[in-house]
Structure 1
Amino acid sequence: MITETKRFPAARRLAGVLAGSAVAALMAAAPVAQAQAQDITVGSKIDTEGALLGNMLMILLEDAGFTVDNKIQLGATSVVRQALIAGEIDIYPEYTGNGAFFFDRQGDQAWNNRGAGYELVSQLDAQENNLVWLTPAPANNTWALAVRQDVAAENDLETMEDFGAWVSGGGDAMLAASAEFVESPNALPAFQEAYGFELTDDQMLVLSGGDTAATIRAAAEQTNGTNTAMVYGTDGALSAVGLVVMEDTQGVQMVYEPAPVVRGEVLEEHPEIRDIIDPVFETLGLQTLQSLNAAIIVEGRDAGQVARSYLEEEGFIN
């Protein structure tokens, strides 16, 4: 529907009179340049992080000379994914772990390993859809436990091993979580089995729905004594309210690292896209994404402004 290329600069004004053969050559070349002067379409999901990363892609490509058609915050995962496959958009940020559902391979242990999951989804999408996954950001936006900063510092809590040992040793943990997180076999029960701890019913505040904003707020405000929250790894409110994500060192949860996915035809025609985008995503670690998301969610800043400020401050654009 919409194809891609760089924006061609306006032709320079010609001074004097050109020789007849030069004029003919110029006129013959003009239709070719016009045919190539088309857009690249950037999409994203409708959520906060989708808007942030989609704007980064759009700004980077525009800065590199591409004409960009803006389809940021196009819709939910299924909508944006189908738009990419159909060629209605050319690139958007997706999460590696979603490959398990795209290809109905939820039982594959590769999704629990950062490198293996990325390699598997890259291979499957290249073979079946001619889609290319660029370099993922080193930030896992999956289910996690986050502890109040004061409690984490007092008890030297950085990883789930630390957390499990603390709880098993009588640590006064109080978790705010959704019923799904508490009951789903691959959520809290999986964490407890892997890290050797068990929270009693008296140590859990179970909230309706799965909104992490509610669990984060409960832990931050110590509602009913809570000091731990069910979160997603890159939640924007975490850094703002002083919660520390416990690292899942055993890979209990599937890894959801954000990565740009681009149509193969687009990348084949413009291989420089990889060089433009990869260095930026390599800098988007967990705390960086938390901070950028917080600027949007907590401070109320526009996602495009936050994206541009980051790219300017890090020297990716002028």
Structure 2
Amino acid sequence: MRRVLMLTAAVLIGGASSQSAQRPIVVGSKLDPEAQILGQMIVLTLRNAGLSVTDRTNLGDTGVNRKAILAGEIDVYPEYTGNAVYLFPEAKIGARQAGEPGTIYALARRLDTANGVSWLRPANVNNTWVIAVPQTLATSQKLGSVADLARYLKGGGKFKIAGSPEFFNRPDTLPAFEASYGFKLRADQKLVLAGATPPQTQQAAASGTSGVNAAMAYGTDGSLSALKMVALTDPRGAQAVYQPAPIIRTATLKATPRIEALLNKTFATLTQATLQGLNAQVALEGRPPQEVARTYLRGKGLIK
């Protein structure tokens, strides 16, 4: 009888393990084109490896995805190393640390360990926050950097910038530019667009919608050149380095450790120019993020 009970227990345990192993891996992402492309790369890479995946990309902004992964509602999503400044304010990460790719990644990885979240290897890309203005304004007012913009503003220059609530409210985004370069925008100089993505804000600036002549943007936006927008440089390093990396619940990674090698291999192929091109296909050509990601991964021989 004892042998029967032991065999029964073994079968039950084995069955439970099998069910656990077959639990779908839930993939999230933010709303902008790049985040959706990267999210789809994760989905397609894992599915190609025979893993069961639930696609919850296009989930929400940084805060939404962060809450979801900490609550176990999603297992993995693409995050940016520079967001460590925002995610771990108690660490008081300085500008010098945030501006060094290896340092900010190591900090993010170490600080999230206690939260049961593991950071995988980031891509060699910097998708940092930037302020972009139309080429015509940049040329006429000699604007090449945020320092130039501060001079323009102090001289009473006309200015109105479009951005998301996150861009205006997070202390490490627009407020960081203001603190580093010594200017302060009034409420009437901001057009806050709920859920806005960089292509939308740049289109508003390019067309002068509601008096807008500047936009929040990311360093890898493919829409910048197409819309004849100039990304102002940040000589004082107000912004952190933002390298995209998959972050995953540690429990999920322990259950399926091969995920790390799979995603590291995919993200290792990405470059600044590559992402700008992929982003442009979604933002300007209207191609679905999954289609763009699939074509790219197949071209690299990463999926069938």
CA–CA distance in structure 2, aligned partners of residues 138 and 131 of structure 1: 21
CA–CA distance in structure 2, aligned partners of residues 250 and 70 of structure 1: 39
1:135 aligns with 2:117: no
1:209 aligns with 2:192: yes
- Work out whether residues 125 and 271 of structure 2, in 8 Å CA contact, stay in contact via their aligned partners in 1: yes
State the Cα distance separating 1:217 from its structure 2 match: 3.5
Q: Which amino acid aligns with 2:260?
A: R
CA–CA distance in structure 2, aligned partners of residues 31 and 92 of structure 1: 29
1:263-304 CA deviation, whole Å, 9 max, x = no partner? 112222322212111122223333322222221121111111
1:224-268 CA deviation, whole Å, 9 max, x = no partner? xx9976522233422433445455465321223221111112222
Secondary structure of 1:186's aligned partner: helix
Give the equivalent residue in structure 2 for 1:115: 102
1:70-111 CA deviation, whole Å, 9 max, x = no partner? 222223322322221222221111122222232223742122
Q: Output the TM-score relative to the length of structure 1.
A: 0.68
Give the equivalent residue in structure 2 for 1:274: 260
Give the equivalent residue in structure 1 for 2:66: 81
Give the equivalent residue in structure 2 for 1:125: 112
1:61 aligns with 2:46: yes
- Work out whether residues 113 and 251 of structure 1, in 8 Å CA contact, stay in contact via their aligned partners in 2: no
Give the equivalent residue in structure 2 for 1:310: 296
Tell me which of 217, 221, 228 is aligned to 1:235: 221
- Work out whether residues 140 and 286 of structure 1, in 8 Å CA contact, stay in contact via their aligned partners in 2: yes
State the Cα distance separating 1:189 from its structure 2 match: 5.9
Give matches, 1:6-45, under 5 Å.
31=15, 34-35=18-19, 36-45=21-30
Q: Which amino acid aligns with 2:108?
A: V
CA–CA distance in structure 2, aligned partners of residues 57 and 314 of structure 1: 14
State the Cα distance separating 1:51 from its structure 2 match: 1.8
CA–CA distance in structure 1, aligned partners of residues 238 and 191 of structure 2: 24
Higher relative contact order (CA 8 A, sep 6+): 2
Secondary structure of 1:75's aligned partner: coil
Identity %: 38
Give unmatched runs, 5+ long, in structure 1.
Answer: 1-23, 199-204
Higher mean alpha-carbon deviation, 279-288 vs 210-219, is at 210-219
- Work out whether residues 143 and 230 of structure 1, in 8 Å CA contact, stay in contact via their aligned partners in 2: yes
1:90–1:147 distance in 2 versus 1, CA, 3 Å: same
Give the equivalent residue in structure 2 for 1:14: none
Give the equivalent residue in structure 1 for 2:177: 187
How many positions carry a matched residue from both structures? 276
1:75–1:280 distance in 2 versus 1, CA, 3 Å: same
CA–CA distance in structure 2, aligned partners of residues 124 and 217 of structure 1: 37
Secondary structure of 1:278's aligned partner: helix
CA–CA distance in structure 2, aligned partners of residues 85 and 136 of structure 1: 20
CA–CA distance in structure 2, aligned partners of residues 81 and 229 of structure 1: 25
CA–CA distance in structure 2, aligned partners of residues 254 and 92 of structure 1: 20
- Work out whether residues 161 and 205 of structure 2, in 8 Å CA contact, stay in contact via their aligned partners in 1: no
- Work out whether residues 45 and 266 of structure 2, in 8 Å CA contact, stay in contact via their aligned partners in 1: no
CA–CA distance in structure 1, aligned partners of residues 243 and 219 of structure 2: 10
CA–CA distance in structure 2, aligned partners of residues 141 and 132 of structure 1: 21
- Work out whether residues 176 and 218 of structure 1, in 8 Å CA contact, stay in contact via their aligned partners in 2: no
Give the equivalent residue in structure 2 for 1:72: 57
Q: Which amino acid aligns with 1:269?
A: A
Give the equivalent residue in structure 1 for 2:251: 265
CA–CA distance in structure 2, aligned partners of residues 56 and 297 of structure 1: 17
Structure with larger Rg:
1
CA–CA distance in structure 2, aligned partners of residues 284 and 270 of structure 1: 24
- Work out whether residues 146 and 231 of structure 1, in 8 Å CA contact, stay in contact via their aligned partners in 2: yes
Give the equivalent residue in structure 2 for 1:5: none
Tell me which of 161, 164, 176 is aligned to 1:177: 161
